[in-house]
Structure 1
Amino acid sequence: MAKDTEATVHRTGLFKLPPKKHSSGRHRSKHAIAKEQKGKVGIKSKSQPKFKNLKKLARKNRSSQIRANKVGKISEEKRKEGQSPINITIISLDEAFTSRKIVEIFNLADEDAIIHVNEKRNISHLAVPRFKQRYTFFCPDTTSIISTLDFLRVSDILVILWPIETTDLHIAHSRLLDVITAHGFPPTFNLVSTLPASGKQRDSTRKALEKLMAPWAKDSRIYDLQGGSPLQILRQISTTRKIRSNLQKLKPYLIAENVQIIKTEDNSDSFSLLISGYLNGAPLNVNGLVHISGCGDFQLSQVVFENDPHPLKQSKKAESMEILRAIKADPLKQTQLDSEIIQDQMNTDQPEMDENEEKFEVPKVKLPEGTSEYQAIVESATMDESIDLNDIDINDDHQKELFKKERENRQWPDEVEAPEGMSARDRFKRYRGLKSFRTSPWNPKENLTKDYARIYKIVNFKRTRKLALEAAKQSFQSADECDEQFCTPGVYITLYVKDVPRSFENHISSTHSPLIVFGLLKNEHRMSTLNMILHRYPTFNKPVKNKEELLFQVGCRLFTANPVFSQHTNGQKFKMERFMPSSGSFCATVFAPITFPPSNVLVFRQCSPEKLQLIAKGIVLDSNPDRIILKRVRLSGHPFKVNKRTAVWFKPVELYTHSGRHGRIKQPLGTHDLMKCVFDRPLSVQDSVLMNLYKRVFPKWTYNAETKGKQFCISDEADDILEEEWSGKKDKVRWDEFMDDE
């Protein structure tokens, strides 16, 4: 009975058995592991810091090591800077309180202070044994912008005295602060002559000062000079960390305190120059070249080390200068002054422009009576690059026409009509068409000017720059190893500069501007094409034409040149700008000595023979002579007869219209500049046909570094003077005619 009640178990047949599972042993298979992870990647290391699980003693030891490394790094930086005094530039914006009076207050702050005044060079030395620190005060003439910038380039601290009896600065002072802002502020101390004693009046005065300082020194501390303690201000200056610029880190520099001219009887065209002062920045190589501000590049014959004339503690011994040792330059290792390549007249490998090429004359066009000379040239030439607007003697009409042309260039960029009385084949024979501005090839060695045979080209600019900067950093180690050709910073030395032309004698003897000597890096004396990335300064709104003479401050150099403006884009070809762009970045190309970035650039425009105006600022890009700058001409015409889709010399060039039609030239018609064209879509009578032609342009060799004897002051003209003059009733031209239609 029990056997009958038992359930029967069904067993599968021989041919219906399920497959056995794969036996992977005691571990999971790879497929099972991948299925569980679902694409997740396992961690390689823990995200928490390694020192988190350290014990207390190990953490304490680690903190002490970090502190010791930071202290060692700071002491190493101070040792490299040397024991030279702190260079302080004082600028007074208060007409009733001069910068010299500020120096007198600092000199009388401590009874034990040692004071030395160099009246010939307008330099004051102050030694405060209480703080174990020395100070050097510079009082530049704020009306001379070049002199002020020269002192700022070598200053460690900037002291500005703000006025308290006015709510608005003088326009010359505001322009000066704009230039200093573009140059870059060193660590700055903002002073006032005195603050009111009462609480409410003191707070209101402080708020008014903060509002006055906001555009240039926002959220800055204000120090009371007379009401407070000048000695505490000096203590703050001595403990402030020096933030050196790239120019001060990479190059040695010396502010001349004593200058002596030694004339030789053998060579009457040159003399030897002895310049004494404290060496700052990087170590100086006696076999390298030096640049004297306003003069140029020169060689050194020797460097003499002398005892410090302004010590922290005055010695009772003789005060005569004692020569410690001298380092003479090695003629075999000395860098030569080969800034340009001497052209070989027998060398025909250098491509250049054909001098015998026929030059076309601009045809004279009949114009109504009363038309000025400038308007006649503009109408006949239609913005031709061969006309230099600076050579035309015009005043307000020149500025008005520049505004007109800049407005036309913004509305119809690069559009030119074929001149009357001349075929387009002859007028634009140096131009060529490009199928694609971005991808079409252009040989950078083709049809170069003669000036390109005089310059140097660095094959690998990035590598050369890297080696030059590494050599500047290695100079500290070479100076520590007592290398005979290097001078450590912080010492008082005398430079023997040889072969200085006599034309610089008056500039060197003058006391109006400082004489500063900079050491140059390798290859920085060689001429090449210098490309700079610039931005128009916001306060400048006047047009600047291409190839107009401008004043550049690039690193330690100050020179004039005629730049070529071009677009700053990606690619191998760059379109020329006829005017300085009003917004965005652009590139300016000039012939100038090689300058390795990072280097700041300031661009000034000469408003009058003695006044400058800041128009742009930027940085150095590179020194590349192969930068292809193309001038574009959009040759325009109008449809003569439209027949659905059909509307030589430039026959292969593609045509296009403002409405987006594209076409090509089919055949010429007659001798009156007519042609038959085929377009992809029908045209309208109101449309205009355009053709792009390109020609490579080159900068002019107008580099001039001799700025001796020029005392430029900042322009105090308001930006809207021209607008006010043009809005008068006597002028027929209104300001709204020069603005965009928007």
Structure 2
Amino acid sequence: MPPKLQRHHRASSSLKQQNKKHKSLSGKKLAGRVAVKKGHSSRAAGSLSKAARVNRAKQLQRQARDALIKKRRELPSEVPHIICVVPLSERIHTRAFVRRIINEEEQMEEDMINSMILGRCENCIYLGADHGDVRGTLECAASADAILVVMASPMLDDTSTTHDDADMESCFSFVSSSGKGQTLLDARSIEAGRVLDALKSQGCPACVMGSIWTDPEALMTEMTEKQCRKLEAASDSLARRFFGSEFGEKLPWKRLDASKKSAQDVSRLVQTQLTKMAGREPAWRHRSVLLAESCFRQHNYLNISGWIRHASMSTTNLLHVPGAGATRIIQAQGIQISSLENEESLYMAAEPDTIAGEQTWPEEEEIVNGPVSDHSSKKRKKKLHLESEYQAAWNFDSDSDDNTENDQDDDMMETEADEKTQEKRRKYEEDLQFPDEVDTPETMTARERFARYRFLESIRNSEWDPYESLPRQYAAVYQLPDYQLARKRALDESQLQGHFPVGRRVDFRLECCDERAAERAQELFIQKKMLVCPSLHRHENRLSVLHCLVRAPALNIEQDSKIVKSKQLIRVHVGYRSWLARPIFSTPALSGKKHKFHKFIQPNESCIVSFYGPTTFGPAPVFLYNIDQPSITIASGTLLDVDPSRIILKRIILTGIPARSHKRKAVVKHMFNNPEDVRYFKPAQLSTKHGLTANILEPLGTHGHFKVALSKSMAQSDTFLLSLYKRVYPKLPPLCDSVMNVTTDYQHSQQEEEEEIVSSEGLIASLI
């Protein structure tokens, strides 16, 4: 038997071939990725039951609420709460109501009649305006912590002296079913409805409360106790229905009367609601505001004291004081502030560059000579032939471009004012029926009358240089390269440089641009007893062109005051600031850089309002008021953009009718008056109301008739249209420099000062 072979063990070599492992498709997709380690909390949350997850969500919500409550309670206890009182009925006199609930029977002083402050009680300051005063109510609500909406308790008509049980029962049932009737006063008046709509458009604070005011002196002595209880139940039902429909079902409301408990209930309710609604203010109020309670003037300086509200305040930013405009903080809490920290100028207008290529500021010779007389204007017209026709047309006054418009705002008698109102109504109705259509004047040629207009094949696709032939007011206007980027940087800078926290009382010494500005601020404080002074971000004291998206309410036949014409003098309210302006209106185009001009604000339609004013970083509410009736809101909206290069084009349409037509040829009449105008406008393309296009071939005769070539055969009832465009700009209002601190080194003539830039006092006086 052969011997067995001996086995020898050999260690495996490290050079053994290793074949490639198989990879699935999912493995190839995940190759190279780094796995993200999930936190322990996410794993635990996924493994929790539904009840545990709900409990955990409640705990997180409670922790966030406790943090907000702690933040609110960290404020000093002496910081007063501002309450804005809004009455809903003419029977409620705001000042008398506040004095009754705080039991203040002292006689009202004469200088307190126009004051914003109505009374103080239980660490609360009551502000308010008269019934139906939209502008005054918005001014009070802008700085208020809470709004107290007061509804009068419904009562029987005072004209009836006796009331039996049947009448009472019918009235109670009527209140419970409809909430209003002929024998009961409405829950709110028409004026109160306007105030509530304006408050909602501006953005109410987080704390809104309702109340029913029962005046014991107005109760009827003939009513029995049972009838009083029924009337109280009916009024509670009406209040519950009204407040629920206007502000939501969760709105808290109280019944108030002339007792000490009423003021305590209001103070307790405000404290509770502010604790619940902490941190829920409108976005436009997220800026530092100084609520001034004292103001004294020393030359061109103001010594002002008050409370910091809404956000921390930085001493490097300018402070807007109503009546004085932008001011600089030079001393805070007795400590001098270095002038190097305050780089912003107190003057809004930019210094014009006389060597700029597109400079439209008046030349030195024009400034010395002042206004051009009739004789000098004739000499100037003789030199116009050396220039191009387009440049010569821009040398005429911009206000004489339309034969149907007159932008002069001279003082007129009552009869002339009525005629102007009727004329405005006629133009408004004509613009609705025939928009942009004008007639060629018979006293001058069309090429001279419409020399500043140009033809565009497409308002969307045609080119238009935004810096061509700018008006001279644009020399004082700033333009931000990127508005959104500048806004973001300015807001971040203000948040990082907050020196004084919210709720602290401060004493500032402010520097005004001149003594007249400081004097106006002191007079305004003496009148209102309180000033709301917002802090300005960087660039917010620079003159520019603001564009706002607004919407006008429905227009009744008798409301001629709401018919607002372009370049009409009105008051605009943007955020915390307000000033006079002469805006222009345009269409809110979704695409394209050119926008169509409107002569009037159309009711129930949105439009863009453009006007001169200080740069403002949104969001900011916008309101337009009439000069003659400041309590009526013309339109309301929000700030859209700040851009002087926005192109707004005004369109005019020349119309003509076919004298005769054959196939694709026609003869047009009543568009021009002479053959020279036909040759001048020959390169322009015509259109018809039925959608056809036509080209001018040649003039016929001496009365402005001409031949056209049509794209298709036309109907004899069709109308030829020639659309021409020119760029329009807003106007500076009279005495408006004082509001914007627009001052220049040029000395204008007396006539120019009355029309455009009148004095260095104008815009500050109206900037409130």
TM-score by length of 2: 0.70
Shift of 1:595: 0.6
Structure 1 residues 65 and 145: alpha-carbon distance in aligned structure 2, compared to 1, 3 A threshold? closer
* Deviation, structure 1 residue 281: 1.8
Change (3 A) 1:437 1:97: closer
* Alignment partner of 1:336 is 2:345: yes
- Report how far residue 548 of structure 1 moved: 0.8
- Is 2:151 the partner of 1:162? yes
Aligned with residue 213 of structure 2, among 193, 209, 222: 193
Deviations 1:379-434 (A, max 9, x none): x9975445547777633333333233222222221111211132211111111111
Look up the equivalent residue of 2:707 and give its one-letter code: K
**Which residue number in structure 1 is paired with residue 704 of structure 2?**
673
The one-letter amino acid paired with 1:248 is: R
Are residues 61 and 573 of structure 1, via their aligned partners in 2, closer, same or farther at CA, if it must alter by over 3 Å? closer
* 1:291 correspondence with 2:300: no
3-state SS, counterpart of residue 592 of structure 2: coil
CA contact (8 A) 2:133 2:631 kept: no
**163 and 57 in structure 1: CA distance in 2 versus 1, 3 angstrom threshold:** closer
Distance 2:82 2:362 in 1: 51
Equivalent in 137, 154, 170 of residue 126 of structure 2: 137
**CA shift at 1:640, angstroms?**
2.4
CA displacement 1:497-528 (0-9 Å, x = unmatched): 12352355255235333422111011000001
Map of 2:647 onto structure 1: 628
**Aligned residues, how many?**
603
Task: Return the alpha-carbon distance in structure 1 between the equivalents of residues 77 and 483 of structure 2.
Answer: 32
Return the alpha-carbon distance in structure 1 between the equivalents of residues 645 and 329 of structure 2.
Answer: 34
**Correspondence 1:696 to 2:754:** no
Alpha-carbon contact 2:89-2:131 (below 8 Å) kept = no
| Contact 1:425/1:649 (8 A) holds in 2 | yes
Amino acid at match of 1:260: F
Q: 1:89 aligns with which of 60, 84, 93?
A: 84
Match of 1:515 in 2: 531
Q: How does 1:41-440 map to 2 (within 5 A)?
A: 51-54=45-48, 64=59, 67-76=62-71, 79=74, 84-93=79-88, 98-100=93-95, 102-104=97-99, 107=102, 122=117, 124-127=119-122, 134-142=123-131, 145-164=134-153, 165=155, 166-168=184-186, 169-186=188-205, 187-194=207-214, 200-209=230-239, 216-217=246-247, 219=249, 220-226=251-257, 229-230=261-262, 231-240=264-273, 241-242=277-278, 243-250=280-287, 252-263=288-299, 271-304=300-333, 326-334=334-342, 335-350=344-359, 383-385=403-405, 387-388=407-408, 394-440=416-462
Report what 1:528 is aligned to: 544
Query: Secondary structure of the equivalent of 1:682?
Result: coil
Does the Cα contact within 8 Å between 1:82 and 1:490 map onto a contact in 2?
Answer: no
C-alpha deviation, 1:672, in angstroms: 1.9
Q: Comparing 443-452 with 392-401, which one deviates more in the overlay?
A: 392-401
Please tell me whether residue 462 in structure 1 is matched to residue 484 in structure 2: yes
- Conserved in 2, the CA contact under 8 Å of 1:534 and 1:586? yes
Gaps of 5+ in 2: 1-19, 27-37, 105-110, 156-183, 216-224, 367-371, 382-399, 667-678, 740-761
Shift of 1:124: 4.2
What is the aligned partner in structure 2 of residue 9 from structure 1? none
Change (3 A) 1:456 1:162: same
* SS at structure 2 position matched to 1:398: helix
> Is 1:578 aligned to residue 599 of structure 2?
yes
SS at match of 1:179: helix
Shift of 1:339: 1.5
Is contact 2:204–2:282 with CA below 8 Å preserved after alignment? no
- Aligned-pair CA distance for 1:144: 5.5
Between 702-711 and 440-449, report the one with greater CA deviation: 702-711
Alignment pair present for 1:501 and 2:515: yes
- d(CA) in 2 for partners of 1:589 and 1:158? 32
Quick one: structure 1 residues 66 and 122, their matched pair in 2 at CA, closer, same or farther if it must change by over 3 Å?
A: closer
How far does residue 681 in structure 1 lie from its aligned partner after superposition? 1.6
**Structure 2 CA distance for aligned equivalents of residues 572 and 417 of structure 1:** 29
Shift of residue 71 of structure 1? 2.8
Q: Give 1:188 shift.
A: 2.0
Unaligned runs of 5+ in 1: 1-24, 32-44, 110-117, 128-133, 264-270, 305-325, 361-379, 480-485, 713-742
Q: Whole-Å Cα distance in 2 between the matches of residues 53 and 236 of structure 1?
A: 43
2-side partners of 1:575 and 1:585: how far apart? 13
Query: Does structure 2 retain, via aligned residues, the 8 Å contact 1:508–1:515?
Result: no
Q: Distance in 2 between matches of 1:212 and 1:591?
A: 41
- Rounded Cα–Cα distance in structure 2 between residues aligned with 1:184 and 1:382: 40
Tell which deviates more after alignment, 449-458 or 187-196: 187-196
Match of 2:475 among 453, 460, 465: 453
The percentage of aligned residue pairs carrying the same residue is: 26
1:491 and 1:179, CA in 2 relative to 1: closer, same or farther beyond 3 A?
same
* Partner AA of 2:633 in structure 1: L
The answer to whether the 8 Å contact 2:201/2:636 transfers is: yes
For residue 27 of structure 1, report the CA deviation from its aligned partner: 9.6
For structure 1, which segment, 218-227 or 276-285, has the greater mean C-alpha deviation from structure 2 after superposition? 218-227
* Contact 2:89–2:189 (8 Å) recurs in 1: no
Which shows bigger deviation, 673-682 or 79-88? 79-88
SS at match of 2:585: strand
Whichever residue aligns with residue 258 of structure 1, its letter is S
> SS where residue 628 of structure 2 aligns?
strand
1:157 positional shift:
0.7
The alignment's C-alpha RMSD in Å is 3.9
Structure 1 residue aligned with 2:580, among 552, 557, 560?
560
Aligned-residue offset at 1:190: 1.6
Name whichever of 416-425 and 78-87 sits farther off. Answer: 78-87
Q: Relative to structure 1, is the Cα distance of residues 587 and 79 closer, same or farther in structure 2, using a 3 angstrom cutoff?
A: farther
Offset at residue 709 of structure 1 (A): 8.6
8 Å Cα contact 1:256/1:516 also seen in 2? yes
Q: Is the 8 A contact 2:320 2:536 kept in 1?
A: yes
The Cα shift of 1:353 comes to 9.7
> Hey, what's the Cα distance between the residues in 2 that align with 1:675 and 1:95?
66
Query: Given the superposition, is the C-alpha separation of residues 438 and 276 from structure 1 closer, same or farther in structure 2, using an over 3 Å criterion?
Result: same
Deviation (angstroms), 1:457: 0.5
Deviation string for 1:324-349 (max 9, x for gaps)? Answer: xx332211121222421112334444
Structure whose residues are more often helix by fraction: 2
Q: Deviations over 1:112-144 (max 9, x none)?
A: xxxxxx9787464444xxxxxx32222445576
CA spacing shift, 1:403–1:512, aligned 2, 3 Å: same
Q: d(CA) in 1 for partners of 2:664 and 2:103?
A: 90
Provide the C-alpha distance between the structure 1 equivalents of 2:60 and 2:627, rounded to a whole number of angstroms: 56
The TM-score with structure 1 as length reference comes to: 0.72
* CA distance, structure 2, for counterparts of residue 68 and residue 181 of structure 1: 31
Worse-matched range after superposition: 565-574 or 165-174: 165-174
Question: Which sits farther off after the overlay, 597-606 or 198-207?
Answer: 198-207
- After alignment, is 400-409 or 459-468 more displaced? 400-409
* Letter aligned with residue 517 of structure 1: C
Aligned residue type for 1:505 = E
Moved more, 186-195 or 289-298: 186-195
> 1:87 touches 1:154 (CA, 8 Å); kept in 2?
yes
Deviation of 1:574 after TM superposition, in Å, equals: 0.3
Q: Aligned partner of 2:716: which letter? A: V
Closer, same or farther: CA 675–139 of 1 in aligned 2, 3 Å: closer
Q: 1:137–1:227: structure 2 CA closer, same or farther, 3 Å change rule?
A: closer
Q: Deviations over 1:253-297 (max 9, x none)?
A: 12221222224xxxxxxx321111111122222222111123311
* 1:217-275 alpha-carbon deviations (Å, 9 max, x no partner): 5644431113995333322210112442334322x212221222224xxxxxxx32111
C-alpha spacing 1:82/1:288, structure 2 compared with 1 (3 Å): farther
